[in-house]
Structure 1
Amino acid sequence: MTHDETTETNATDFFELPDDEAPSKPPPRRQTGKHSTPRKALPLILLQDALTGAELRRVREARSLLLLVKVPSPAWVESVRDALRALGSWHEIEVRDGSTRYRRKPEDVGEVAVRIGDGLRVAAVCHDPAALLPPSLIACADISVALGPPSDRVIRRAIKAVTGTMPRRVPHRAGLDFADLVGCIRVGDTAAAAVRRLSEASQARLGTASDLADVPHVLSLHGYGAATAWASNLLKDLEDWRAGRLDFSCISRTLLLVSEPGLGKTTWARSLAKSAHLPFLTLSISSLFSGGSGYLGEISTKIDQFFALARNMSPAVVFLDEIDALPSRDNLDNRNRDYWLPLIVQFLLLLDSSASSATSRLIIIAATNHGGAVDPALCRAGRLHPTITLGRPDAMALAAILRQHLAGDLADADLSGIVALGRGRTGADVVAWVRDARRVARAASRPMRLDDLRDVVAPPDSRSDTDRWRAAVHEAGHGLGATYTGSGRVTHLDIVAAGHLGGRTLVSASQTETRSRTDIEATVVTALSGRAAEVALGLQPTSGASEDLRIATELLVAMHVSYGLGEGLVHRAAPGDSHQVLAYDPALRARIDEELHALNQRALDLAVRHRALIEDVASALLRERVLDEAGFAAIVAAHLPGEVRHG
């Protein structure tokens, strides 16, 4: 079945009718009191299903026994305690759910230890034994059983115990805890009614808690590359798991998404949850440190509470945004180590129990704009693995994203001109374009026109002729630098003003992920060539090259302190930490400034030598505002036909 197909299910598909009863005739209503209540039946059946036959006999008959029961969530604690009493007599049942009523420190054993020592029958029920129970009680348990969320088999048996009829199938129960299940399976009702309520309650949880109504199916999204393939495999595995053909522990269910801002990491994760029919829980790591005191204990509690909620709602999709807000231990100084280490270790342990545990039912997606800042231990196999890097959408993907967000607007319009103007922009930019164009059309009380969209993608240029010429010369300089140093293939140039940018040059990098010193220096020359072109054509340098200088500086610093391509081999900082390194190392600062001046001179020499080429490219940009790869290559070829270009 494809992702956009739907199937109809009749109520009779879910429950068994007596042989002599026609499907159109509903089963007679059950009489209250003839069957068990859901509060009694559900935990008892869950216990019986989890214990082996030998363990059940010991629970019923052993004269001395210490039984430890881990329940799916705090809501199950008291009902499982009562179920244990139904299975046998106990001298003591210790229950702890973290609430005020049962709040005791883990080291508080009290009468429990005495009764265990006296050889009596003792049980302990808890949703998080490691955090809430005495270590001695955990270590000495004769039987330890972990109760996961009720399986389909348990739910079917519970429905039969309450209603008298065994359903053939039960629906997926995303996010339903004990109280939800008990509210759906009612004494005096039918199995079909219980099945219907379970389905409706699950859908309500998905719709309300996740707020996913506005996102499309994950396989219909565009521009996500390897992430789409990963999502397709996950959805197929979930289908097999629900059909009983695959154990959940066999599913690849963790992922780290890396991209620059605005490329839709959150949208993709929300869409994945909706497509998988699972609750969506999100935690921004940076939000843990805002709106509070920042005390270590307070942050630790927030983390525990979030993962406890996720476990309660499992199976679910957990989205950890800004995972780089937990710093890498490689970059911690002694002053901050004592604060961060406990939090990082806590997070690693929670990931181990949530991502790789055989009993976990969580799919964990983490996201970052700074892949190099993530602690390597977080993204190793078994935790947040694999890592998928998202790039900016190409022209085809951008057109598809634009058409998707336009929906029925401009259905017959040719969008190729809009895509050319917006080449290299992000999905977030597309959302803003369509929103703003619709606002313009609403204000004019008419349908959207192509001009509305064009004007928000590339607003009419209000800059002076001098400023527009400067922008065109600057981008032409970048194109020249990339072409003649061999740092990459120029695929797009424009002088469309957007925010603080007066234009853009897009370069498809020609080198592999591993770069030599020559490769890095070629990229630095390309970054400096915009400023150099302005100087070569008689324009004074301005503040417009600040971003180029940042890129050039960070590359040279990384070359020296991260990549071992300078004078020493010592790894001193991660790439991107140039500000901190330069602030405390005046000798390195002087060395980087010296190299910047030398490479800037190379860029200036190149611009002076090829001034005519810069002028022709800049003139074309003034006329067209946009030059694609073919247009730029034609101007280059006209100036130097057949010449091999190199740095």
Structure 2
Amino acid sequence: MHHHLEKRVFTDTSSNAAKFLMLCALRQALRGTDQFKNNSKGIIIGVVDHAWIWHARSAAITLLTGGRQDSYYDDFRRPVHVIGEKPRRTTSKGIEDVTIFRPEGQVIYLASSLDAVTLSLQLAADVIVNISPPTARHVIAARKVLGVEDIDLLLAEAIADQPAEIVIGLTARSSLKGLDIATLTKPIADPARSPKLSELPGYGPARPWVDAIKQDVADWREESVPWSDVDRGVLLIGPPGTGKTLFAAALANELGFDLVSTSVGAWQGSDKGHLGTMLAAMSASFADATSRRGAVLFVDELDAIGDRLSMRSDHAYYEGNVIGRFLDLTTHALEQPGTIVVGATNYGHLIDNAILRSGRLEKHVYLELPEEEERAEILAYHLGQALSANELREVTDRLRLATPADLEKLARAAKRAARVRKGVLSIQDVKAVLPAKVPLPEPVVHRICVHEIGHALMAMASGLADVISIRVESHMVEGELVQDGGRVHYKMRNEALPTEKDLLAKIRIMLGGTAAEEVVFGNRSIGAGGVEGSDLDQATRLAYRLVASYGLGKWLRYQVGANRVDESFVPAPELRAEVDGILAREYRATKDLLTKEKARLMRLAAELVVDRQMRIDKT
């Protein structure tokens, strides 16, 4: 070690407040060791506060090399290594190497906790020291060599008790006259803590899995189960705004893990998405997560990574390499104790099956739009519980299509309205910022009621549903699709192994709305189609699954997986013709049945116009 630095090196070091402070702290920590006193060879492990670790690295290099800017032809000859921390400048190498070797001279390993250091390295170390943060005397010394105004010990002690960035800034400040010591000695307020998943409303479908993994992680920490017994790969599937990103952050907080958040888009944005830099960015994210002592790696937009079954020939090399590398990294990451991988997508069916298999992202959680009670709880949460969920039901029960993100936006607007009027938040503030609603003309409401009763009667006729509930709207949010003016809810039986008859009955239920319009009005509206998820979209997709996937058409043919009948699916011409035939045949049967039931159809529709909701019970 270099006890005395050359003048040039000392001048350079003393001009850097953080480096000089940690050089003082490092020398103090090592002063009693043979490595410092006698310049003995050996491995030194220094445990240093996370906020100071990179400044300690810079100081340690100066202490060991005397400021020489040597280049090392391999990583093992570097004199200073940092363990368990993400490098400030991420490279394709990711995290620092911690391979053990006997040094020719002295080598220092720095870590923010001894838990991050492998047992083998601890045993190989000649000395392990705790490197305390800079003291008040170090602050005084640093200000002297910086050539700034001297300060007394009392003020230096107050400065040394502050977080690292404040210590560095005040040490380098030219004059501290007028600085209030009382302000410095006040406790620093903790930053706002992001919520745990158990504190958030909603996420009903995910709760059982979250409870299970929380217990698994607790058992793993107590070493009663190995990491291989923990569920650690999950895919979140749901439309935009359903809270997938928040879920990952809240899960990390629930488990006491770090969150490493990224996306396929971020990887692709590295250096214009060239393959090498894309793979390096991906590898760096995984390395960051696996280097920590517990991390949730959140990968958004996972569908953008591609699917080898549908890749185009001109992109096959690129996409194949990306998917292959992602599979390797995921497998390796999930084997590392304390690493959980959470993927998120709006389109689960576009993801390569190898990513979704058991052992990788094996748990699939579908996040749908919140139910009535959940909507009220979510809005109450974002309003800071200033209003109860029960109070908010009169508002949220009318927001059937609101996502959690929409409800958060509504809460922000309501709180702003209360601030503007300088009053306490009230239900009137919430109502004042609701999206504008426009009344539907009575003829439109009547047609919607006929349409929904058509679905309901076909569901009853199928013999697969016992209880059906119907609800229609008299007002629509400005800009919303009129297709969402009515809803029919029912639960089908025989879902475990549906037969061809069951599937055809489902198609007739989907076509029942538009057929009822034609029976009553002599014409049809656009209410059955126009958007993904509409009646016609669902009926057409189910018909394609029937003939192209389930083998229930004219031929015993399998062409595509049932979950891949989407907008990217290109059916053979004969399949298109067969599907057209199925839809036409089932539409005729639906219209014939509803024609026979026309009197009942019209009576129930008239009741629904008046009541706006209805329940039909088979019994």
Assess if the C-alpha contact under 8 Å between 1:440 and 1:452 holds in 2.
Answer: yes
Assess if the C-alpha contact under 8 Å between 2:455 and 2:488 holds in 1.
Answer: no
503, 513, 531: which one aligns with 1:530:
513
CA offsets, 1:67-98, max 9 Å, x none? xxxxxx9999999999999xxxxxx96434xx
Q: Distance in 2 between matches of 1:212 and 1:293?
A: 36
User: What's the offset of the Cα at 1:356?
Assistant: 1.3
* Match in the other structure for 1:481: 458
User: What's the offset of the Cα at 1:319?
Assistant: 0.8
* Match in the other structure for 2:303: 324
Counterpart mapping for 1:418-429 below 5 A: 418-423=395-400, 425-429=402-406
Work out whether 1:519 is the aligned partner of 2:502. Answer: yes
Assess if the C-alpha contact under 8 Å between 1:536 and 1:604 holds in 2.
Answer: yes
Q: 1:524 to 1:288 in 2, by over 3 A?
A: farther
Q: Distance in 1 between matches of 2:31 and 2:332?
A: 33
* Match in the other structure for 1:587: 574
Q: 1:356 to 1:34 in 2, by over 3 A?
A: closer
User: What's the offset of the Cα at 1:457?
Assistant: 6.7
Assess if the C-alpha contact under 8 Å between 1:264 and 1:428 holds in 2.
Answer: yes
User: What's the offset of the Cα at 1:351?
Assistant: 0.8
CA offsets, 1:379-400, max 9 Å, x none? 2233223223334444443343
* Match in the other structure for 1:280: 259
190, 201, 204: which one aligns with 1:222:
201
* Match in the other structure for 2:407: 430
Work out whether 1:570 is the aligned partner of 2:558. Answer: yes
Q: 1:216 to 1:477 in 2, by over 3 A?
A: farther
User: What's the offset of the Cα at 1:617?
Assistant: 4.0
Q: 1:431 to 1:621 in 2, by over 3 A?
A: farther
* Match in the other structure for 2:153: none
User: What's the offset of the Cα at 1:353?
Assistant: 1.9
329, 332, 355: which one aligns with 1:378:
355
Assess if the C-alpha contact under 8 Å between 1:607 and 1:614 holds in 2.
Answer: yes
* Match in the other structure for 2:18: none
Q: Distance in 2 between matches of 1:263 and 1:163?
A: 44
Q: Distance in 2 between matches of 1:350 and 1:76?
A: 31
User: What's the offset of the Cα at 1:367?
Assistant: 1.7
Q: Distance in 2 between matches of 1:534 and 1:214?
A: 54
User: What's the offset of the Cα at 1:300?
Assistant: 2.1
Q: Which moved more, 1:524-533 or 1:402-411?
A: 402-411
Q: 1:506 to 1:334 in 2, by over 3 A?
A: same
Q: Which moved more, 1:543-552 or 1:240-249?
A: 240-249
* Match in the other structure for 1:503: 485
Q: In the alignment, residue 381 of structure 1 is paired with which amino acid?
A: S
Return 5+ residue gaps in structure 2 as ranges.
1-23, 37-41, 48-52, 66-70, 104-108, 135-158, 168-189
Q: 1:523 to 1:239 in 2, by over 3 A?
A: same
- SS in structure 2 at match of 1:305: helix
Return 5+ residue gaps in structure 1 as ranges.
1-29, 49-72, 86-91, 97-111, 113-120, 165-192, 202-210, 643-647
CA offsets, 1:471-507, max 9 Å, x none? 2222232233333324555344222534113413243
User: What's the offset of the Cα at 1:259?
Assistant: 3.0
CA offsets, 1:154-185, max 9 Å, x none? 78995546599xxxxxxxxxxxxxxxxxxxxx
User: What's the offset of the Cα at 1:513?
Assistant: 5.1
Q: Distance in 1 between matches of 2:321 and 2:436?
A: 50
Q: 1:453 to 1:196 in 2, by over 3 A?
A: closer
Q: Distance in 2 between matches of 1:590 and 1:251?
A: 49
- SS in structure 2 at match of 1:307: helix
Identity of aligned residues (%): 25
* Match in the other structure for 1:36: 30
Q: In the alignment, residue 454 of structure 2 is paired with which amino acid?
A: G
User: What's the offset of the Cα at 1:249?
Assistant: 6.0
272, 284, 287: which one aligns with 1:305:
284
Assess if the C-alpha contact under 8 Å between 2:305 and 2:323 holds in 1.
Answer: yes
Q: Distance in 2 between matches of 1:575 and 1:357?
A: 31
- SS in structure 2 at match of 1:571: coil
Q: Distance in 1 between matches of 2:281 and 2:448?
A: 49
Q: Distance in 2 between matches of 1:142 and 1:613?
A: 90
| TM-score (normalised: structure 1) | 0.64
Q: 1:158 to 1:614 in 2, by over 3 A?
A: farther
Q: Distance in 2 between matches of 1:301 and 1:529?
A: 53
Counterpart mapping for 1:99-248 below 5 A: 151-153=113-115, 160=130, 213=192, 215-225=194-204, 227-239=206-218
Q: Distance in 1 between matches of 2:26 and 2:58?
A: 23
Q: Distance in 2 between matches of 1:402 and 1:513?
A: 36
| TM-score (normalised: structure 2) | 0.66
- Pairs aligned (count): 513
* Match in the other structure for 2:472: 494
Q: Distance in 1 between matches of 2:605 and 2:31?
A: 80
Assess if the C-alpha contact under 8 Å between 1:355 and 1:364 holds in 2.
Answer: yes
Q: 1:613 to 1:398 in 2, by over 3 A?
A: farther
Q: In the alignment, residue 609 of structure 1 is paired with which amino acid?
A: K
- SS in structure 2 at match of 1:497: strand
Q: Which moved more, 1:509-518 or 1:416-425?
A: 416-425
* Match in the other structure for 1:468: 445
User: What's the offset of the Cα at 1:347?
Assistant: 0.3
Counterpart mapping for 1:247-262 below 5 A: 251-262=230-241
